[in-house]
Structure 1
Amino acid sequence: MTKKADKIDRLAELMQTSEATTGASLWREAMRRLRSSKMAIIGAAVIAVFVVLAIIGPWIAPHSPTAQTWRGEVFPNQGKFVGMRGENWFGLDHLGRDLFSRMLVGARQTLLVGVVSMLIGLVVGALVGILSGAAATLGGRVGQRVDTVIMRITDIMLSLPGLLLAVSIAAVLGQSLTTVMIAVGVVQIPVFARMLRGSMLAQGGADYVLAAKALGVRKRRIVLTQILPNSLSPVIVQATLSLATAIIEAAALSYLGLGNPDPAVPEWGVMLSQAQRFFDNEPMMAAYPAIGIIITALGFTLLGEAMREALDPKLRG
């Protein structure tokens, strides 16, 4: 009996070592493919520039983003604006504020909203996904019922257009930057929950899980130490893609007037909202924040798609 138990223990160790080696080699192969992917390099470069500008923007801005220094030179009622010039690289807005400085400082607010919104969706969605996935994988009949209830609620949330749901939440909570973060984060929750739950279900039938069950390992330990770590790859990829979505949706809420109640604080969505009234006379006021949002979202999307391809075992050569 002792020899048989020793053989089972040895078999389990070999299976876990094999899984760990496979996982490590998968990540090494993914990193190699990312380094050779032009899409990943471009996306990472765009993100790096955006993050650096968001961090150092307030210190390198040539002028105060809120000071109406040149208000006497701008007459929006007459359609007279100051365009690009040596002193103001992007020109002036309708209140005589330097647009270049506002773009630099506004990048920090945009990044903050996007990251916090994504983290809210990731953390809450992961907790929901872990509960649902663990219940469906190892919870028996009661677990199946718990999983069914959670997934039906998730399906209801997914059936609603994301921006419409975010607008509804923001309208109920009131106008503020925190409201935007919460509203956009709630929209992301069912996406992460559904993805992590599906990944855990796929891992639930793996050989290392069957071996752990045969050895009598507690279900909670199997979920936390075996199934969950091997289910995180698609969630990491989705987090990168969700940053792009969060930035766009946060800008949309700010554009609709549901963001920061102080219009003097620069944020790309707020700047875009303020510029719509003067688009006929000065379209560049809207073009600068719009281009910033598009390029930033594109960078996160390119990196996320490159990570998805790099981690997809079907595409490994």
Structure 2
Amino acid sequence: MTKKADKIDRLAQLTERTEATSGAGLWREAFRRLRTSKTAIIGGVVIGLFVLIAIVGPWLAPYSPTAQDWRGEVFPNQGRFVGPRGENWFGLDHLGRDEFSRMLVGARQTLLVGVVSMLIGLVAGAIVGAVSGAAATLGGEAGKRVDTVIMRVTDMMLALPSLLLAVSVAAVLGQSLTTVMIAVGVVQVPVFARLLRGSMLAQGNSDYVLAAKAVGIRKRRIVLTQILPNSLSPVIVQATLSLATAIIEAAALSYLGLGSPDPAIPEWGVMLSQAQRFFDNAPMMSVYPAVGIIITALGFTLLGEAMREALDPKLRG
């Protein structure tokens, strides 16, 4: 009996080591491919510059982003605005504030909103997806019923247009940047949940899971130490792609007036919302934040697509 137990333990340890090694090899191969991918390099450079500006922007800004030092030079009612010049590289906004300083400081706020929104969706969606995936994979008939209920709820959330769902949540919670983060995060929850559940179902029939069942490893341990860690690759890729979506949707909510109630706080979505009234006379006020949002979202999208290709064996050349 002792020899049999020792044999089972050795088999379980061998299974775990094999999966850990193959998982580590997958990530090493992915990083090697990313280093040689032009798409990943371009996306990484864009993201790196954006993060750098977000971190050091407030110290690089030549003026206070809220100071209306040149208000006497701007007359919005008469269509008179100050464009780019020596002391104001991007010109002045409708209140006489330095547009370049507001862009630098606003990058931090935009990054904060995007990252926090993505993390809310990732954490909540991963919990829901893990519970559903574990129930469907190893929960028997009762587990399948739990999985069905969870998935029908996520299907209802996915049936709603993402922006409409975000606007509904933001309207209920009230106007603030925190509301924007929660609203955008809620939109991301069903995406992460379904992705992780599907990945766990695919892993549930793998050889290492069957081997773990055969040697008598408890179901909870199989899920936590085997199935779940090996199902996270597509979720990590989706998190990178969702950052781009979160930044765009957060900017859209701010544009609709559901962002920060204090218009003096620089944030690219808020700046775009304020500039729309003066587009005919000062189009560059809209162009600067719009280009910033587009380039940042493009950077995250390029890196996410490169990561997806590097980690997906079906897309490897």
* Counterpart in the other structure of 1:93: 93
* Counterpart in the other structure of 1:305: 305
2:164 equivalent to 1:147: no
2:128 equivalent to 1:162: no
Unaligned segments of structure 1, at least 5 residues: none
Q: Cα distance, 1:14 vs. partner?
A: 3.2
Aligned-partner Cα distance in 2 for 1:111–1:100: 17
Aligned-partner Cα distance in 1 for 2:224–2:6: 25
Aligned-partner Cα distance in 1 for 2:17–2:206: 14
Q: Cα distance, 1:163 vs. partner?
A: 0.3
Aligned partner of residue 201 in structure 2, secondary structure = helix
Aligned-partner Cα distance in 1 for 2:10–2:63: 68
- Per-residue CA deviations over 1:165-221 (Å, capped at 9, x if unaligned) read 000111111101110000000000000000000001111111111111112211111
Tell me which amino acid in the other structure corresponds to 2:153.
I
- Per-residue CA deviations over 1:65-114 (Å, capped at 9, x if unaligned) read 00000000011111111100010000000000000000000001100100
Tell me which amino acid in the other structure corresponds to 1:303.
L
| More off after superposition, 263-272 vs 16-25 | 16-25
2:35 equivalent to 1:32: no
Q: Cα distance, 1:18 vs. partner?
A: 2.4
Aligned partner of residue 157 in structure 2, secondary structure = helix
Unaligned segments of structure 2, at least 5 residues: none
* Counterpart in the other structure of 1:206: 206
Please give the TM-score of this superposition, normalised by the length of structure 1: 0.98
* Counterpart in the other structure of 1:226: 226
* Counterpart in the other structure of 1:49: 49
Tell me which amino acid in the other structure corresponds to 2:71.
R
- Per-residue CA deviations over 1:225-272 (Å, capped at 9, x if unaligned) read 111100000000000000000000000000000000000100000000
- % identical equivalent positions: 85
* Counterpart in the other structure of 2:79: 79
Aligned-partner Cα distance in 2 for 1:11–1:270: 59
- Per-residue CA deviations over 1:41-62 (Å, capped at 9, x if unaligned) read 0101100110111111111100
Q: Cα distance, 1:16 vs. partner?
A: 2.8
Aligned-partner Cα distance in 1 for 2:115–2:232: 19
Aligned partner of residue 124 in structure 2, secondary structure = helix
Q: Write out aligned runs for 1:58-137 (5 A).
A: 58-137=58-137
Aligned-partner Cα distance in 1 for 2:119–2:32: 27
Aligned-partner Cα distance in 2 for 1:10–1:60: 59
* Counterpart in the other structure of 1:270: 270
Aligned partner of residue 295 in structure 1, secondary structure = helix
Is the 1:12–1:208 Cα contact (8 Å) retained in structure 2? no
Aligned partner of residue 280 in structure 2, secondary structure = coil
Aligned-partner Cα distance in 2 for 1:193–1:280: 44
Tell me which amino acid in the other structure corresponds to 1:96.
G
Tell me which amino acid in the other structure corresponds to 2:146.
V
* Counterpart in the other structure of 2:184: 184
Is the 2:58–2:104 Cα contact (8 Å) retained in structure 1? yes
Q: Cα distance, 1:21 vs. partner?
A: 1.9
Is the 2:11–2:215 Cα contact (8 Å) retained in structure 1? no
Is the 2:15–2:212 Cα contact (8 Å) retained in structure 1? no
Is the 2:43–2:301 Cα contact (8 Å) retained in structure 1? yes
* Counterpart in the other structure of 2:240: 240
- Per-residue CA deviations over 1:148-176 (Å, capped at 9, x if unaligned) read 00000000000100000000111111101
- Per-residue CA deviations over 1:93-150 (Å, capped at 9, x if unaligned) read 0000000000000001100100000000000000000100000001011100000000
Tell me which amino acid in the other structure corresponds to 2:180.
V
Aligned-partner Cα distance in 2 for 1:83–1:315: 48
Tell me which amino acid in the other structure corresponds to 1:283.
P
* Counterpart in the other structure of 1:194: 194
Aligned partner of residue 260 in structure 1, secondary structure = coil
Is the 2:129–2:196 Cα contact (8 Å) retained in structure 1? yes
